[in-house]
Structure 1
Amino acid sequence: MILVSVLAAAAVAGSAQTAVADMGDALDTIVVTAQKREQSLHDVPLSIDVVDAAALDRGEARDLRAAATRVPNVSIQRQGAIDTVFVRGIGGGGRNIGFTTRAGVYVDGVYAGQFASVNQDALDIARIEFLRGPQGHLFGRNTDSGAISIVTEAPGHVFGGSLQAGYGNKDLFELRGTLNAPLSDQVAIRVSGSHRERDGFTLNVPTGTDLDNINRDSARGRMRAEFGDVTLDLAADYSHDRTNKAIGEALTDTFNTGPSPLPGAFDTPYNVDPLQRIRTGGGSATIGWALGQGLSLTSITGYRGTSWHRRNDLDYVPLDLAMMDYRDRFAQTSQEVRLNFASDRLNGVAGLYVFDETARTDRRVIAGSQVGLLPFGLAPGLSAQVLAQVKTRSYAAFGAADWRFADTLTLNIGGRFTHDRLRLDDYSSFGSPVFGLGRIEGFADRQSNDSFDPSVALSWAATPDLNLYARYAHGYKSGGWNVDFLSAAQFADRIRFTPERVNSAEAGLKFARPGLRLALAGYYTTIGDYQIDQFVDLGAGQVSLQLRNATKARSWGSEASLEARPVERLNLSLGVGYAHATFDRFPDGGGPGVDLDGNRLPYAPRLTASGELRYGIPLASDLKLDLSGDWTYRSASFSGPENLARQRIDARHLLGARAALVGGRFEVAGWVRNLLDTRYVDNRIFDFFGTQAVERGEPRTYGVTLTLRSR
C-alpha cells in the first residue's frame, strides 16, 4: 500500500530534477549520454534522473553531495571523513584503499576514482546524470548500485563569460567566473574558476576554532578543436578542499575519563582541531572521428589524481591523549576506444578499455603528551601505523546495441567482459598491545578476477508519447583486502575478500507530451557475496570482526517522477523513491550466534522524496521575477547493520526558497536553505574504539547572489 500511495502521489506532482524554460507550454527535451551516445532521456530503458546547471543554481548546490539530495533513491552519505554514494539503499565501501565503493562517479567519461573523489565541485557543469541499478555493461566494475556521470560545459564559438559573487550568513563568500573564447574558426576554449569560504557552524570549545567550515578553490578548463571530421577535446580540472571537518559530537569518550560538559549542540570537546584536506584533479583527451555511413570512432585518454589527509582527536575529550593522522593517495590512468554505429534499425557501441591505479596509504595513531594519565603504559609518540600499496590493472571489452526489429519494439542488449589484476604490496602494520593490534611486516598478495556483465532490455513504444521497458542487468564489484589496523587473529583469519555479484530486474514506463513528463520504474536487486564486516568465531574463546564476503542482500522498490506545467509560467515537480534494502542472509552478523537476517542495510531509508514549485512573473520585456521553493524528505535509517536504537537516524523534512530578479545580462537572487532551521542528526558514528558520536546536519543558511553575463 505504501508503494501504491507513493506512485499515486507522483502522478499528480512532478520531478525536481531538471530545469525547463519559464515561458511557453512545452518542456525541454533532455539529452543524455548514459549509453555512451547521445539519446533522448525518453528513449533510454533505464531509471535516470538529470540535474542541470539551472537546477544546481536554484538549489545553491555547489557540490555533488548537495546535487544528490534532489534525486530520489540516491544519496551521498557523509560517514565521518568519507563520502559514499548510496543508490537504492546499496552503497558503502571506501573505508580503506583495499575496499572500493559500489557506485562509480565519472567526469566527462573518465572514472573519477575512489571515495575521496566523490567530493566533486559543481563548477561549470552542464548536467549530472544519476543512473540507478547496475551499470556494469557500459561503465564496468564497481557500479553495483549505479553510476553518476558529470558532463561539463563544452566550449562554444561565441565570445562571452559570466561572473557570480555571493554573500551569506556565517560570512559565506563565493566567487565564480567563466570565460568562453574562440581562438579561430576551428578552436575554442572555456575556463572557469571558483573560491568559496564560510565560517563553521560547529565550535570546538577548547580551542575556539570553527569546524564544519568551507574553504575551497576549484578550476576547470576545456579546449575544443574541430578539423573536418575530427574533433579534439582537451579537459583539465583541479579542486582543493581545506575543511576543518568535525567527525562528530561525542556521546561517549574513548578512554572513560569522564564526559566533557559543553554549552549545547554544535559544540565539540577536542584538544586537537580536526582537519580534512582533499586535492582532486585530472585531465582527459578525447578524440572523435566521424568515419561516415553512421560510423564514428572515439578515444578517451584520462588521468586522475587524488590526495586525502584526515586528522582527528581520538579521545573526544580536551586532554591530549591520542589522535589519528590518515593520508591516502591515488593515481590512475585510463584508455577507452569505442566505435559507435547507427543505421535505420540498429544503433550501438563497441569498445575496449584499460585502467591502471596505484593507491597508497599511511595511517597513524599518535599518543599525546598527556597519555601518561592513562593506566596503559603508553608513551607519547607513534603508537600504531598502517602502510600499504594496492595496484589495480583492469582490462575490458564491451558492447551494446539497440535493434528495432519492429516498428514499436526495440531490443537493447549489451555486455562487458572484465579482467582485473590486483596486487597488494608492502602491507605493514604495528600497534601497541593496548589497542589489541598485531604486527605485520611487508605482507604481499595477488588476486585476479573475471566477470561478464550482461544487460538485456525490451522497449515498446506503445504510443508516440509512451514507452514501456523491461530490463535485466548484472553487476560486479571487485575483490580486495582489508588494509586496516588489524589484530593478529584478524590477520591470521584472512584479509582477502572476493568479488560480489549483483543481479537486477527493472520495469518501467516513460511518458512525455507538451507540458507533462512522467517516469515510473520498479526494480528487484539481489547481491551475492556481499562484502561487509562480520563477527567470526575463531575458537578458543576468540572472536574477530572481519571485512569479508559474509552475506546476501537484496533491495526492491520503485522510483517515480513527474514534471508538469499546468499553466503558463508555473512548474510543479516531485520525485519519490521507495527502497526496501535488507540482508537476505547475514549469519553471525551481530556476533557469534546472532544472525541479522532481515535487518535493513546501513543508510537505507525506505522513502526519499524531493519537490519544487517555480513561478515566473514577467515585469518588462527583458525583466522577470523567478520564485521557487523546494522540499526534500528522507525517512529514518540506521548507521549500522545491527539496527540498534542508538544507530537510528531520524527522518527529516527540509525546505528551501529562492527569489531571483532576472534581466538580460544580470541576475540578483536571494536564497535560504533549511528554511525552518530544522535540527537533525545526519549520521551516528561508532569508531575503532567503540566511541559514539553524532554528526549534525547544517542549520539554516541564507544569502544573496549576483550574476553578470556578457550576453
Structure 2
Amino acid sequence: MTDRTYWALKIGAAAIALTAASTPANAQQIANAQSAAPPENAAAPEIIVTATKRAQSVQKVPISMTVIGSEKLAEFQATDMKSIVNSVPNVAIQRANGNDAIYIRGFGSASSNFAFDPSVSLYMDGIYAGKQRQAPAPFFDVERVEVLRGPQGALFGKNTAAGAISVVSANPTKEMSAGLTGTYNFDQKGYLLDGYVSGPVTDTLSVRFALRLQDQDGYVHNLGTGAWDRRDEMQMFRATARWEPSNSFDTTLKAEYGNINRPGGLTVSSPLNVQQDPAYVRYTQSSPLGPDGWTNQSVLLSNTANVHFGEFTLTSVTGYSWYSGRVTNLFDQNTPSGTIVPTTIENSYPERSNQFSQEVRLLSPTGRTIEYVVGAYFDTGKYSLNGTTYYNLPGYQKIIHTQFAQNSDTKSVFGQVTIHPASIVRIIGSLRYTNTHKDASFLGDIFRSPTGATSSAVGKIDENHIDPSATIQVDLAPDVMAYATYGRGSKSGGFASNTNGATSATFAFLPEQSENYEAGLKFAALNHAVVGSISAYHTRFKNLQVSVYSPSISAFLISNAASATAKGVEGSLTVRPIRNFDISANGAYLDIKYGDYPGAACLATQPSTCVPATNNLAGYSPTYSSKWTGSVQAHARFDLADYKVDVTGGGAGRTGFYDADTQDPKYGYQKGYIKYDLRVQFAPTSENWHIALIGRNLSDVHTVSSVFVLPASLTPVARALKFPDAPRSIALEVGVKL
C-alpha cells in the first residue's frame, strides 16, 4: 500500500468515525438538514483577519491562508508552532536542539545556522520576529493566528519568501472580565496555568493583564540523570493598555516578559540500518559545558496608534525586542545496543539580540473606485552568538570557540492599490522596495588539539530588492469569490554564524528570491453553513539558501541551491449540517523538486561514486516535504438542562518524508502517519466554568522531527541521533471565568 493510499484511507476512516461518534443526529436527520436551508444559528461565524492591513473577512482575502482562533488554540493547548502544525496543511516544523524551523510548501530555513533569517517570517502584533527566541511562546493569550502561504513580500515584506505567520494577541475589553485555566498533564506530569484580567479603568482607558506559568516534565527518560527531558519551565507576563480619548485617535501599548528554562535534550540514539521507531530513552552525564537544555529571557514591546482624519487612517506600529538565551547540547551516549559510551562531543551556544522597528502606513477610505495603502518601514538590530564545541576522543581533544557578531538595518517603502472597474471586480497591485544592510565578523579558535588553528572572517552585505504582486478578484456570486495572483518575495543574504573554519571568501551566502503564481476560489453556501476554499499554486525559488550537515567535518555547510520549484493544491471545507454540530477538513498536495543544485552534498540514495564537487541534485526533493498533508476535525454539543457537553475530535496526518539531510531511506525517512486528538468538556450553559479531559496523539504514534548522524570519527559507535515528537498524553483541564 502506498503512503498516499494509506493516508487517504486512514484519514477518511477518522472522519467517518468522528462524525458517527460526535453527531447528535441520525443519518436521516442530517439528510433532511442538508436538503433545507439551515437555521440562522447553524451558520459559521465570520472570521475577520488583517492580512491585507485592513480588517476583512477571510473569505474576501485573495490569499491561501489558515486562521486559528483563540478557542481552537485552547481546545488542544497549543503553545507553539509544533502543536498546531498537523492542523495546517502544507506546514512542517523541523525540531532540533538549536532553533525550530518552519517550512511552508516545502520551503524554509534550516535550524542549524543560528543567524539564518527565516523564509517563513513570524509577526507578533505586527512586529517582525526574525529570531525564534524573540517570541518563545507565540500562542500566549492570543486572539488568532493567521498562516499565510506563499510569498508575502509586498505588504509583510521582511523575509517572507515562503510565507508569513501573523499572531495577534488579545486586546483589553470594554467590559470587566477575567479567566483562569489550569491543566495537569498525567503523562508529562506537571501543570500549565493561564490567566487574564481585562476591563475598563476609565471611559477612555482599558487594560489587560495576562500570565502563563508552566512546569511539566518532558517525554524522554534520561537514564543518566533520572529526569524526563526536555522539561518545560515557563513564566510569561503581558500587560496591555488601550487608550481611546476620542473617535479620531487610539493607541494600544503591549509589554511582554518571558523567562523560559527547558532542561534536558531531545536526542535519542538509533542504529543506522533500521527504519525510524524512536525509543524515548537517552543517557547523558555531567559536562564541562554545563547541563543540557536551553534557557531564554525575552522582552517584547509594541505600540500601535491610529489617527483617523476624515475617512483616512494613519497607523504607526513601533516595536522593540530583546532576548538573551543559551542552548547546550549533550548528545545521547546510549548506543543502539544499550552500551554507554564516553562523552565525545557537546556544544553550547549563548546568544543575544535586540531589535527596534518602526512602520507607518496610510489607509484610504473603502468603498471607492480606487483604494490604497502606502507606508514605510525601518528596523535595526544587533545579534551575537558565542559558541563552544568540546571534543573528547582517544588521543584527540579539542575545544573550539567561535564568536559571531552582526549588525543589520532594513529600510523599505510599500504600497497597494485596489481598483474597482466594476462592482464585482477588483484589480490589486502592490509593490515594495527594500534595502538591507548587514555587516558581520567571525572568529574561531581551536585549543588543546594536536595542531591548534584560528579562523576569522568579516563580511558586508548591501542589497536592494523589489517585490511586486498583482491580483484580480471576481465575485462570481454573493458568497463566491475567485482570484488569480502573481507575487514575488525575497529573503536577504547572510553569514555562516557557527561554522568553524569560515573565511571571508566563504562567510556570506546570497539572498534568495521566490515567484508565485496562484489561483483560488473561496465560497459559502446555505446561509454560510458550508464554507470552503481551494487554491492551486506554482512557486519557484532562485538561490534557495540551504544548510547541510557534513559528518566528515562535524559542521553544517551553508550554500545556495540554484533553483527549486513547488506546485500543488490546497483546500479547506467546514460544514454545519445541523445546530450544534460541525465538521472541518483541510488538505494539501505538494510536488517540490530542485531545478538545479550543483555542488550539493551527496545523498544516501546516490551512487557511491558520487563526488560533491560534480554532484547536482536536480530532480530531487528537499527534506521535510510530504506529498500529502491534511486533517479532519468534528465538534458536537449536547445540551443537558442547564449544562452542556462539548466533544471535539480530530485526526491529522501526512505522507512520508525525509527528515535527515542525507535522505537515507532507513534512519532518515519518516513514514506516513495520522495522529488523533480528542477533547470532552462539561460546563454550564453560562460558561462561567468548565472541566475537560484532553487526549493528544491518542493512538501513541511515535514519529521523528529531524535526524543527523554522528560518524565513527566522532564516537566509538556510529549512530543516528533523532529528535522524537511527543507520544500520547492525557490531561485534565479546569477553568473559570468572571
**Equivalent of 1:109 in 114, 126, 132:** 126
Note the C-alpha offset of 1:269. Answer: 2.0
- Aligned pairs for 1:68-87 within 5 A: 68-87=85-104
- Aligned pairs for 1:310-321 within 5 A: 310-314=327-331, 316=333, 319-321=342-344
**Equivalent of 1:550 in 553, 561, 571:** 561
**TM-score with structure 2 length normalisation?**
0.86
Q: Which moved more, 1:116-125 or 1:662-671?
A: 116-125
- Kept in 1: contact 2:134–2:300 (CA 8 A): no
- Aligned pairs for 1:435-454 within 5 A: 438-441=453-456, 443-454=457-468
- Aligned pairs for 1:469-618 within 5 A: 469-487=483-501, 491=503, 493-513=505-525, 514-533=528-547, 546-589=557-600, 590=602, 591-618=612-639
Q: Distance in 1 between matches of 2:379 and 2:673?
A: 40
Q: C-alpha offsets along residues 495-536 of structure 1, whole Å, 9 cap, x if unaligned?
A: 211211111111000001320101001100000111224799
Q: Which moved more, 1:399-408 or 1:681-690?
A: 681-690
Q: 1:625 to 1:314 in 2, by over 3 A?
A: closer
- Kept in 1: contact 2:520–2:535 (CA 8 A): yes
Paired residue for 2:607? none
Q: 1:544 to 1:331 in 2, by over 3 A?
A: closer
**Equivalent of 1:644 in 652, 657, 664:** 664
Q: 1:285 to 1:323 in 2, by over 3 A?
A: same
Paired residue for 2:733? 705
**Equivalent of 2:651 in 631, 647, 672:** 631
- Kept in 1: contact 2:206–2:241 (CA 8 A): yes
Note the C-alpha offset of 1:641. Answer: 4.8
Q: Distance in 2 between matches of 1:366 and 1:496?
A: 25
Q: 1:244 to 1:208 in 2, by over 3 A?
A: same
Q: Which amino acid aligns with 2:360?
A: V
Note the C-alpha offset of 1:632. Answer: 0.9
Q: C-alpha offsets along residues 85-112 of structure 1, whole Å, 9 cap, x if unaligned?
A: 1101111245334421111101110112
Q: Distance in 1 between matches of 2:648 and 2:94?
A: 26
Q: Distance in 2 between matches of 1:485 and 1:431?
A: 13
SS of the equivalent of 2:353 reads strand
**TM-score with structure 1 length normalisation?**
0.89
Q: Distance in 1 between matches of 2:127 and 2:504?
A: 38
Q: 1:535 to 1:165 in 2, by over 3 A?
A: closer
Note the C-alpha offset of 1:611. Answer: 1.3
**Pairing 1:352–2:368 present:** no
Q: Distance in 1 between matches of 2:257 and 2:122?
A: 16
Note the C-alpha offset of 1:432. Answer: 4.8
Q: C-alpha offsets along residues 94-131 of structure 1, whole Å, 9 cap, x if unaligned?
A: 53344211111011101123133463242211000000
**Equivalent of 2:149 in 127, 132, 157:** 132
- Kept in 2: contact 1:101–1:115 (CA 8 A): no
**Pairing 1:239–2:263 present:** no
Paired residue for 2:411? 395
SS of the equivalent of 1:592 reads helix
Q: Distance in 1 between matches of 2:203 and 2:417?
A: 35
Paired residue for 2:360? 337
SS of the equivalent of 1:301 reads strand
- Kept in 1: contact 2:238–2:257 (CA 8 A): yes
**Which runs of 5 or more structure 1 residues have no equivalent in the other structure?**
254-258, 537-541
Q: Distance in 1 between matches of 2:522 and 2:72?
A: 21
**Pairing 1:419–2:442 present:** no
Q: Distance in 2 between matches of 1:226 and 1:412?
A: 32
Q: C-alpha offsets along residues 601-630 of structure 1, whole Å, 9 cap, x if unaligned?
A: 11111111111011011112x421101101
Note the C-alpha offset of 1:214. Answer: 1.8
Q: Distance in 1 between matches of 2:42 and 2:638?
A: 15
Aligned residue pair count: 674
- Kept in 1: contact 2:594–2:621 (CA 8 A): yes
Q: Which moved more, 1:604-613 or 1:390-399?
A: 604-613
Q: C-alpha offsets along residues 521-565 of structure 1, whole Å, 9 cap, x if unaligned?
A: 1100000111224799xxxxx999742223211111111000000
SS of the equivalent of 1:57 reads helix
SS of the equivalent of 2:117 reads coil
Note the C-alpha offset of 1:375. Answer: 1.8
SS of the equivalent of 2:94 reads strand
Q: 1:434 to 1:657 in 2, by over 3 A?
A: same
RMSD: 2.9
Q: Which moved more, 1:130-139 or 1:310-319?
A: 310-319
Q: Distance in 1 between matches of 2:198 and 2:727?
A: 37
Note the C-alpha offset of 1:63. Answer: 2.4
Q: Distance in 1 between matches of 2:347 and 2:674?
A: 35
Paired residue for 1:409? 425
Paired residue for 2:183? 166
Paired residue for 1:430? 445
Q: Which amino acid aligns with 1:579?
A: L
SS of the equivalent of 1:24 reads helix
Q: Which amino acid aligns with 1:450?
A: N
- Kept in 2: contact 1:526–1:553 (CA 8 A): yes
Q: Distance in 2 between matches of 1:306 and 1:639?
A: 29
Note the C-alpha offset of 1:194. Answer: 1.2
Q: Distance in 2 between matches of 1:709 and 1:69?
A: 29
Q: Distance in 2 between matches of 1:524 and 1:364?
A: 42
Q: Which amino acid aligns with 1:705?
A: E
Q: Distance in 2 between matches of 1:184 and 1:648?
A: 59
Paired residue for 1:669? 692
SS of the equivalent of 2:154 reads helix
**Equivalent of 1:221 in 227, 239, 246:** 239
- Aligned pairs for 1:136-215 within 5 A: 136-169=153-186, 170-215=188-233
Note the C-alpha offset of 1:195. Answer: 0.7
